[in-house]
Amino acid sequence: MKEKSEKKKSGKKDALLLETIRQRIETKKNKEEVIKNPLAEAKKSKSQTPEEPASLKTTVDELYDIIVKTKGIRLDHAAKKFHVPEAKIEEWAKILEENGLIEIHYPPIGKPTLMKKMG
């Protein structure tokens, strides 16, 4: 009975952390867009579409799901899967790690592995 309660708490905690991560990434993306092209941002705000439902998954959510399902994935394999540079995957992984969801294992030889945090 205690395990079920702990799992529920852990699940809620994970959901809250993922929502926080989504918001941080969205804020960062918005700042980058404004800096890159202020005119495009102005046009976009005039013809803004309704806000997307919160149920849509971000790429970081998908990465986290893969890590949980597979018990871990090498950084270079994740980069190939998402068609992004390894540095971008490492950036996402660090966000997940900072929020206590995963661990990044750096072996002496070879590529880093992204693993679900135990405990």
d(CA 57, CA 75): 20
For the chain, list the domains and their CATH numbers: 2-116 (1.10.10.10)
Closest CA to 51 of 26, 71, 76, 69: 26
pLDDT confidence of residue 7: 57
pLDDT confidence of residue 103: 94
CA angle 95, 96, 99 (to 5 degrees): 90
pLDDT confidence of residue 64: 92
- Give the mean pLDDT per block of 10 residues along the chain (119 residues): 58 76 76 56 54 71 92 93 94 92 93 88
